[in-house]
Amino acid sequence: MNSKPHNDKLEQARALLDGGEPSLTELAETVGLSPSHLQRRFSARFGLSPAEYLAQRKLGSLRSALREGHDVSAALYDAGYGSPSRVYESGAAKLGMTPGRYRAGGAGEQIRWSLAPTAIGTALVATTARGICMVELGDDPQALEAKLRSEFPQALLERVDAGRDEFLAPRLRAVADTLGGQGHAVPLDLIGTAFQKKVWDALMKIPAGQTRSYAQIAEQVGAPRGARAVAQACANNRVAVVVPCHRVVRGDGSLGGYRWGLPLKERLLQRERAA
């Protein structure tokens, strides 16, 4: 079956979403597909439904305008938000902070952090008031701190001695337990695209000691041809182990890649299987 006509229609639909805010019905009528067919095909090709794609496009426009220093109110309306409350209700969660703070490059965002000894080495754990925003693994404390500062250059960073902060201490314990093979649910404050967050949510549903292939995760999030995009989402994961991208492998069972190195990925999987 020749898929080119359908692909052309999907590209047309994407172009229409890039240029306006058509409803699903309007979009389907314009490209000559039924709404349900368009919804299914669009999601399979791009990893997002038309509504999710539109929301992500608007959020991207807002981010760009804020980074360029535009006034917050003007940026909101130019990006297509009908009122400021719409983005403060939903957009702030995707930005990881309010639009005003995002415009300032994260200035004023308070992040507490500490180093935790774990079963496989040192972990840097950083958290905002909303939840863990970064877990970095390594052997060099200075390098770990430098990585944190490079990720959040405008934030107010406060180092806290392990065990001396009622807010941070349970998160340190949860990360240490997870690295020891015993997972715990902890609040997270993740910044990513809608597709990346879909992938990360799927990863957190993989039981400890088990693995899934990149292709299986792609299928699970509604993008059966998106294995490479899944791998990229794993590479962009800032929260080691808590969002367990180490549990995703290639279709042939080989380890694939890992931001913190394949030896650590293999060690994590071995510990989880033995727990």
11, 3 Cβ separation under 8 angstroms = no
The pLDDT of residue 146: 94
Mean pLDDT of 191-195: 77
For residue 163, the domain's CATH number is 3.30.160.70
Where is pLDDT greater, at 67 or 194?
Answer: 194
As a residue count, the chain comes to 275
Q: Are residues 120 and 72 in the same domain?
A: no
Residue 31 located in a structural domain: yes
The pLDDT of residue 142: 93
- Domain of 209 in residue numbering reads as 194-274
The pLDDT of residue 93: 45
Residue 186 located in a structural domain: no
Q: Distance between CA atoms of 243 and 152, rounded to whole angstroms?
A: 19
Three-state DSSP class for residue 264: helix
Mean pLDDT of 254-269: 90
Mean pLDDT of 23-37: 91
Residue 72 located in a structural domain: yes
For residue 228, the domain's CATH number is 1.10.10.10
Is residue 234 part of the annotated active site? The answer reads no
Where is pLDDT greater, at 41 or 66?
Answer: 41
Q: Is the pLDDT of residue 171 over 90?
A: no
Binning pLDDT at 50, 70 and 90, where does residue 34 land? very high
Residue 184 located in a structural domain: no
For residue 74, the domain's CATH number is 1.10.10.60
Q: Are residues 15 and 99 in the same domain?
A: yes
Q: Are residues 263 and 203 in the same domain?
A: yes
pTM: 0.62
The one-letter code for the residue type at 33 is L
The pLDDT of residue 228: 87
Q: Which residue among 154, 179, 204 closes a domain?
A: 179
Residue 49 located in a structural domain: yes
177, 165 Cβ separation under 8 angstroms = no
69, 76 Cβ separation under 8 angstroms = no
The residues pairing with 118 across neighbouring beta strands, listed in sequence order, are 121
pLDDT tens-digit series, residues 55-71: 777 776 776 666 566 66
43, 219 Cβ separation under 8 angstroms = no
Q: Which residue among 103, 123, 150 closes a domain?
A: 103
Share of the chain above pLDDT 90, in %: 24
The pLDDT of residue 250: 93
Q: Are residues 72 and 148 in the same domain?
A: no
Q: Are residues 41 and 70 in the same domain?
A: yes
Binning pLDDT at 50, 70 and 90, where does residue 1 land? very low
Tokens representing residue 106 in the block: 């994260």
Residue 260 located in a structural domain: yes
Where is pLDDT greater, at 178 or 36?
Answer: 36
Residue 187 located in a structural domain: no
Least confident window among 88-102, 209-223, 233-247: 88-102
Q: Are residues 91 and 12 in the same domain?
A: yes
The pLDDT of residue 214: 95
Find the catalytic residue in 135, 172, 186, 245. 245
Q: Which residue among 78, 103, 128 closes a domain?
A: 103
231, 256 Cβ separation under 8 angstroms = yes
In the chain, how many domains are there? 3
Binning pLDDT at 50, 70 and 90, where does residue 160 land? confident
* End-to-end CA separation in angstroms for the chain: 48
Q: What is the mean pLDDT of the chain?
A: 79
Residue 167 located in a structural domain: yes
pLDDT tens-digit series, residues 95-153: 455 555 555 555 567 888 988 887 778 889 998 887 888 999 888 999 999 999 888 87
Q: Is the pLDDT of residue 232 over 50?
A: yes
The pLDDT of residue 234: 92
Binning pLDDT at 50, 70 and 90, where does residue 259 land? confident
Mean pLDDT of 197-223: 91
Mean pLDDT of 1-14: 75
